[in-house]
């Protein structure tokens, strides 16, 4: 088109048609400007489309991470409840002064399950990528962005708090292992003590009954603390999932 206008411009100039030449020159400029504006608009539309797609991808990934967290929490709660029942059974059973198969099984259950410590670790892959890549700005809704950040702050606080609680329990485990027959019942080490009969192991452990019950109480407290924390996390996760799914529906329209 440009050569076409150039030919007209030369012809009009040769014919001394200044007014017509000026009109065509202005028309040519207008067309060029319009072309630039269209190109800018297309580029802007492409950028907006990329931004929208990126937001949708991250939103879906966050939803999947949060759903995985809720599944992990639900499974962990079942495990913690089972551990609490084992601990409750132990504290009642150790009041029996004499050896019995029931007492042996209860103590064995405690060292198999009760005194092991569980952890909750959230799936932070998407959130970490958002933070490190600078793509957090895809969430322009300030309230939603704060909910996302607050969720992972609460998760981090719970994880750190639980580690602190575990550090408090470990010395109690060490004391029990050192002063009582704990290793004779632990699922990993009991095979090393096959020369010790069950009755002797039980009686020796019952000599440290108070230490055993305090150890069990410590783990009971630890499990209860962890359960309360992850229930709060689950409530926050479900609320955040609902918010993110609403955003996703809007983006799909």
Residue 32 lies in a domain: no
Domain assignment of residue 3, yes or no: no
The residue count of the chain comes to 253
Which is it for the CA torsion 90, 92, 96, 102, positive or negative?
negative
pLDDT (0 to 100) of residue 144: 93
Whether the Cβ atoms of residue 149 and residue 110 lie closer than 8 Å to each other: no
Per-residue pLDDT at 199: 80
Residue 152 main-chain phi, psi, to 5 deg:
-75, -25
User: How large is the C-alpha radius of gyration of the chain?
Assistant: 35
Residue 46 lies in a domain: no
Helix, strand or coil for residue 165?
helix
Residue 201 DSSP SS3: helix
Q: How many CA atoms lie within 13 A of 249 on its CB side?
A: 6
Q: What's the CA gap between 24 and 36, in Å, rounded?
A: 18
Question: In this structure, are residues 121 and 163 in contact, taking their beta carbons and an 8 Å threshold?
Answer: no
Output the six-digit token pair for 121: 């670790």
pLDDT tens for 205-228 read 888 889 999 999 999 999 999 999
Burial class (CB in 10 A: 0-12, 13-18, 19+), 122: buried
- What does the angle CA 231 – CA 233 – CA 238 come to, to the nearest 5 degrees? 95
- Spell out, as residue ranges, where the chain has pLDDT lower than 70: 1-25, 27-28, 30-33, 35, 37, 39-48, 96-99, 252-253
Q: How much is the pLDDT for 41?
A: 65
What is the three-class DSSP state of 118? coil
Domain assignment of residue 115, given as a range: 54-252
User: What pLDDT is attached to residue 229?
Assistant: 97
In a domain, 21, yes or no: no
Residue 184 lies in a domain: yes
Burial of 116 (0-12, 13-18, 19+ CB in 10 A): middle
CA distance linking residue 134 with residue 124, whole number of Å: 15
Chain centroid offset of residue 16 CA: 77
In a domain, 43, yes or no: no
Distant-in-sequence, close-in-space partners of 158: CB < 8 Å, separation ≥ 6: 120, 229, 230, 232, 233
Q: Is residue 12 part of a domain?
A: no
Residues 21 and 10 sit within 8 Å (Cβ to Cβ): no
Upper half-sphere CA count for residue 92 (Cβ side, 13 Å) = 9
Quote the pLDDT of residue 93: 86
Residue 156: what pLDDT? 95
Tens of pLDDT, residue by residue over 67-111, are: 999 999 999 999 999 999 999 999 988 886 666 778 888 988 999
Q: What is the pLDDT of residue 26?
A: 72
Nearest Cα residue to 57 out of 246, 249, 248: 248
The per-residue pLDDT of the chain, averaged, comes to 84
Provide the domain count of the chain. Answer: 1
């Amino acid at each position: 088109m440009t050569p076409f206008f150039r030919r007209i411009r030369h012809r009009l100039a040769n014919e001394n048609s200044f007014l017509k030449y000026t009109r065509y020159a202005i028309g040519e400029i207008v067309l060029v400007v319009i072309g630039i504006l269209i190109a800018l608009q297309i580029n802007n539309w492409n950028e907006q489309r990329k931004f929208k797609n990126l937001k949708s991808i991250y939103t879906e990934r966050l939803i999947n991470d949060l759903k995985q967290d809720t599944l992990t929490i639900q499974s962990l709660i079942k495990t913690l409840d089972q551990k609490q029942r084992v601990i409750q059974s132990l504290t009642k059973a150790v009041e029996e002064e004499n050896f019995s198969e029931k007492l042996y099984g209860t103590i064995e259950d405690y060292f198999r399950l009760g005194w092991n410590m569980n952890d909750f670790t959230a799936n932070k892959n998407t959130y970490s990528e958002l933070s490190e890549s600078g793509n957090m700005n895809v969430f322009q809704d300030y309230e939603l962005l704060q909910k996302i950040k607050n969720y992972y702050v609460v998760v981090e606080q719970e994880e750190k708090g639980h580690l602190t609680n575990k550090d408090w329990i470990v010395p109690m485990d060490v004391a029990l292992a050192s002063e009582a027959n704990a290793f004779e019942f632990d699922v990993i080490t009991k095979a090393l003590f096959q020369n010790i009969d069950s009755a002797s192991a039980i009686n020796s452990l019952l000599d440290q009954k108070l230490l055993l019950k305090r150890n069990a109480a410590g783990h009971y407290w630890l499990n209860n603390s962890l359960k309360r924390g992850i229930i709060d996390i689950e409530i926050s996760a479900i609320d955040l999932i609902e918010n993110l799914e609403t955003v996703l529906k809007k983006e799909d329209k």
